[in-house]
Amino acid sequence: MGEKTITVEIDEQGNSSIDLHGFHGKGCGDVAEALRGKDKLVVDRKKREYHASVDENRVVRNRKGG
């Protein structure tokens, strides 16, 4: 499984944003919701990885038998 990174930015006015790297599918949304807690969501932008199923992101390596 790949490395996962969570970046949280808070500006001078107290507005915050999060960016999740290495998460795929619904898992990304679950993590974002857990981090948000009871805070109000203003903008929700989902990356390409959110819409991809976990199977689409899996790397398959074939070995030649012999």
Return per-residue pLDDT of the chain as tens, 66 residues.
Answer: 579 999 999 999 988 888 888 887 778 888 888 988 888 888 888 777 777 665 545 555 556 654
* Nearest CA among 22, 17, 23, 5 for reference residue 44: 17
Q: Which residue carries 């499984």 as its tokens?
A: 1
Q: Which residue carries 């949304």 as its tokens?
A: 29
Find residue 17's DSSP bridge partners.
9
Q: How far apart are CA 2 and CA 59, in angstroms?
A: 11
Q: For the whole prediction, is pTM greater than 0.75?
A: no
CA distances from 1 to 19, 36, 41, 58 (A): 19, 25, 29, 9
